[in-house]
A and B are shown apart, each in its own frame.
Chain A
């Protein structure tokens, strides 16, 4: 039943202008970056920065707006013989898949043409994972907030925190604690930011620890590349599962 609803949610979004614009933007940026640098690795690094910046932002804002724009329809569906869990999961998966399709075309295709390496594939995979993570967080913000303005505001705060604030705080904490052994702290701080985890996952493939930042480099030292990748993947899975589970838990009890 859920997949049937996913099909309609996803199909509806894919016919919209926003997803079309998102795909076009990604395509343009990817081709631009690969053609400017000459070296595909440089192109990938440029694309990585772009993806880490844009994917969370677009996923958060789009998914929250989608929830509020579909509110009346979600109400109508909730009045049908359907479990709330099915209904919300179908929405989350539908939005995630539509945005993923956009990414596969927008950066997947250029990477396939210019840089089809493990690193390139990792970048695509990581951007898909970030889409799921931030769509899940967006739905969590949406079911928590009372109205559209607060929902989108919360989503933007989430983005602001993970994209900008978290790194500053990390440095500050590490600076404060510099007299103590920092392995555990820095590893936890890294795990607390899905965007950092994504960055480290890609850079581990490239083996350029200079770009990994303090926490990333420390993780490579501590865990080594193989365990590091396993750790980051496991934590990112948690970043998808926990927000979705919380959003469903709240939505089941929510007055629509």
Chain B
């Protein structure tokens, strides 16, 4: 569904993405994991058309994501920090997004809109919302137009426990309906519950890309956090060993 081929992006001397190649298929919920600066955000931004890669290809069902912006009607994005124009009311924000997306989707999905009771805050200006409420608004907007691909950047950060569960349930349901979901989170236990696969990035390369179930059975661990910690520890020791002559 979503194909990255030799995707490369440098910022000055830093290689944020180094010939990254991966195929992401529908029905997968992929957790992007890796140390800081490994290229997770850059990869997401390439998918969203926010960053132009220096080289390589990025296609959605064969059509290049680097060209026509109309293709982004198939993508929903929940940013890490939701900031909206200060004096816009929540209702107006939804109106604006609906106008931008008018005619690009066949179905709207207001499950989260109802679950988070956005109606109740529709008259408030976005400036007055708490961080968590803004996250809810962002989440609703990402799912609203029933996109085929969902990009969720730290979706559970700042949400209250009930909302976290609502959102996780929604992600699972959409994945089951055949969506492709791309996730980042620092809370590995959250990823453990909703992700099907792990794409582990280091220095802009895919270190490994495997189903979570396989990782668990192979390592004998039951928790994703432990598996990742083990891998990270091993990889640092190998680099240390490589450096000693």
Residues of chain A at the chain B interface (Cβ within 8 Å): 1, 4-5, 8-9, 11-13, 15-16, 69-73, 75-84, 253, 255-256
Contact = CB atoms under 8 A, between A and B. Distances in A.
Contacts of B88: 8, 11-12
A93 to B, nearest CB: 15
B161 interface: no
Contacts of B77: 76, 79
B92 to A, nearest CB: 7
Contact of B86 (A1, A16, A82, A255): A16
Contacts of B73: 80-81
Given A5-B96, A12-B87, A13-B87, 16 more contacts: A9-B85, A73-B83, A75-B79, A76-B84, A78-B48, A78-B50, A79-B49, A79-B72, A81-B70, A81-B71, A81-B73, A81-B100, A81-B101, A82-B69, A83-B69, A255-B51
By CB atoms of chain B within 10 A, which of A11, A13, A16, A81 has the most? A81
B100 A255 contact: no
Interface on chain A toward B: helix, strand, loop, or mixed SS?
A: helix
Nearest to B97: A80
B92 A256 contact: no
A255 B151 CA distance: 18
B76 to A, nearest CB: 9
B65 to A, nearest CB: 11
A80 B96 contact: no
Nearest to B141: A76
A79 B75 contact: yes
Contacts of A9: 85
A15 B104 CA distance: 31
Contact of A72 (B49, B81, B96, B100): B81
Interface in B46-99: 48-52, 69-73, 75, 77, 79, 81-88, 92, 96-97, 99
B72 A81 contact: yes
A8 B50 contact: no
Contact of A80 (B52, B82, B92, B100): B100
B45 interface: yes
A16 B69 CA distance: 31
A80 B72 contact: yes
Contact of B101 (A5, A73, A75, A80): A80
A83 B99 CA distance: 14
By CB atoms of chain B within 10 A, which of A76, A77, A255 has the most? A76
A78 B46 CA distance: 12
20 contacts: A1-B99, A1-B100, A4-B96, A4-B99, A4-B100, A5-B96, A5-B100, A8-B85, A8-B92, A12-B85, A16-B86, A72-B79, A72-B83, A73-B83, A73-B85, A77-B100, A79-B72, A81-B72, A81-B101, A256-B45
